Amino acid sequence: MKKLYLYNTASRSKELFEPVNDPVGMYCCGPTVYNYAHIGNLRTYVFEDVLKRTLLALGYKVKHVMNITDVGHLTSDEDTGEDKMEKGALREGKSVWDIANIFTEKFKENISDLNILNPDIWPKATDHISQMIRLVQELENRGFTYRTSDGIYFDTSKFPSYCDFAHLDPNSLRAGERVDMGEKRFVTDFALWKFSPTDSKRQMEWDSPWGVGFPGWHIECSAMSMEYLPQPIDIHCGGSDHIRVHHSNEIAQSEAATGKKFVKYWLHGEFLVLDKGKMAKSGGGFITLDSVKDAKIPPLAYRMFCFTAHYRSPLSFSWEGLRASAHSLSNLYQAISSIPSSDKPVSQQEVDSVLGDFFEAVCDDLNMPRAMAAFWSVLKDEKIDPAVKSECVKRADQILALGLTEVPKENVINLSLSSETPAEKQNLPSEYPSDLVQRIGERLRARASRDYKTADLIRDELTNLGITIKDLPDGGVECSSSKSTRKVVIKR
């Protein structure tokens, strides 16, 4: 097995990956489902997907858990402000439960569009309230909590190593004149359980030994991760904005409750930046994956765009840069489609040898810019046997997940339908008459405008005519006819 080196935030250094558990336990902080995920959020999930796919490609078994935060995440990570879920429900004029379901399904649609593998377990915070209460009780029994008028808090002064993970200076954390700590004893103390307001009723609240209320955001991840993964958890991932507060709090409460090391390897992805500032929902100017689709850019072009920078480096977003990635993806498909087909047997040793530089880059802390350069070198090398090259594409796409194994090969007629070049003006084979191709074009336009009902009706109509439709990652379609061995690939 190849050696994998990962940058561990806890040690601030690259370390050889040596998991404790089999399967490898991998926990990823999931979305707070009060709004659409923006593409900055999705960059983190792409990086985590590359990590998971790399582990699988190297032969590890992985147990992947990603939570859904559907309660308790306040507008400030420091336990102040409105509950994001309640705020989202008010904005949309729906119940909190409806909001959670709507944006959970939209998030799952987004990650499917980006070829991100689903986690093995999707725990929802609202399904694990009893586990959270038990964890707070354990902390209470061990003397790590205190009560205020608005909740139960974790006393960070009782956890001496609290500042270590984020490399905080304890002296700089003293409350000054401008810091309103309320009843907190220390500025880094955080809520484990918040009491519901006495003058109003929340949509989400539960009975507890301390009174009616709801869990603090940080306790949710500890309770759910420890419910499904043994400690120490091998890998815990998230965005770099989680280091300072959320993950420091997770470590404190988890290790205080169990006396065990919580996580062995911490990995964090950097921000997607827009005009030199991170993309965030709070600013209101965030970009969703639907915005990318509306611009007629395939979602996998955004996955390709994420590979243009190391996951630990900020990535500047621009529409020009994204369109350049879409063009690169199209060139990649074209290069792969031109590889001659071959039935020649190929050994795994041959493939691994040719992809040596590719895997060396991937195993060096997921260096995807270098990995993509190495992969392009393989595709351009005319000395490599076509059969070997085709197997290299399959092997590399286990990690890249750019739909490279779906790229059509030889015996394919490529068409591009537009107002300037309609079907009747193109040289079409007899098994694909112009009226049939025009109908396929209508389905493409229906899909592009999200008229899925019409698209499905046309698909059924074509199926009855012996035409099988396969949608391609770049927004086009591959058509097979029962009357011919030839295929037609049609682009919008």
Whether 152 and 103 share a structural domain = yes
Tell me 428's DSSP state.
Answer: -
Calculate the dihedral angle through the C-alpha atoms of 126, 131, 132, 138, rounding to the nearest 10 degrees: 170
Whether 53 and 185 share a structural domain = yes
Residue 378 lies in a domain: yes
Cβ atoms 29, 238 nearer than 8 A: yes
Whether 442 and 396 share a structural domain = no
Whether 473 and 390 share a structural domain = no
- What CA–CA distances, in Å, run from 219 to 18, 125, 170, 214, 252? 27, 10, 23, 11, 10
Tally of domains in the chain: 3
pTM greater than the 0.75 cutoff: yes
Question: What is the C-alpha to C-alpha distance for residues 319 and 258, in angstroms, rounded to an integer?
Answer: 48
Residue 4 lies in a domain: no
Cβ atoms 193, 216 nearer than 8 A: yes
- Residue 441 domain boundaries: 412-491
CATH code: domain of residue 52: 3.40.50.620
Residue 11 lies in a domain: no
Neighbours of 182 (CB within 10 A): 12
CATH code: domain of residue 317: 1.20.120
Whether 343 and 465 share a structural domain = no
Closest CA to 206 of 196, 216, 221, 197: 196
- Residue 411: the pLDDT is 43
75, two tokens: 């507008």
Whether 253 and 341 share a structural domain = no
Whether 398 and 418 share a structural domain = no
Residue 272: enclosing H or E segment and its boundaries?
Answer: strand 272-274
Cα dihedral 408, 409, 411, 413 sign: positive
Residue 188 lies in a domain: yes
Residue 463 lies in a domain: yes
- Residue 80: the pLDDT is 58
Residue 218 lies in a domain: yes
pLDDT in tens, 148-201: 999 999 999 999 999 999 999 887 776 544 456 789 999 999 999 999 988 877
Whether 377 and 478 share a structural domain = no
Residue 181 lies in a domain: yes
Whether 226 and 262 share a structural domain = yes
- Residue 15: the pLDDT is 99
Question: What is the C-alpha to C-alpha distance for residues 237 and 219, in angstroms, rounded to an integer?
Answer: 16
141, two tokens: 């029994």
Alpha-helical runs (H) found in 381-468: 386-400, 434-448, 452-464
Task: Find tokens 């915070």 and name the residue.
Answer: 125
Question: What is the C-alpha to C-alpha distance for residues 230 and 228, in angstroms, rounded to an integer?
Answer: 7
487, two tokens: 């295929």
- Residue 281: the pLDDT is 58
Q: Which residues contact 477 (CB under 8 A, 6 or more apart)?
A: 440, 443, 444, 469, 470, 471, 489, 490
- Residue 448: the pLDDT is 79
Query: Count of residues for the chain?
Result: 492
Whether 323 and 337 share a structural domain = yes
Residue 300 lies in a domain: no
The low-confidence residues of the chain, meaning pLDDT below 50, are 75-76, 176-178, 410-412, 485
255, two tokens: 């290790």
Whether 378 and 418 share a structural domain = no
Neighbours of 383 (CB within 10 A): 4
Of 371, 389, 406, the residue at which a domain comes to its end is: 406
- Residue 122: the pLDDT is 98
Alpha-helical runs (H) found in 230-272: 248-258
Whether 262 and 396 share a structural domain = no
Closest CA to 265 of 197, 365, 193, 360: 365
The full DSSP string for 180-202 is --TT-SSTT-EEEEEEPPTTS--
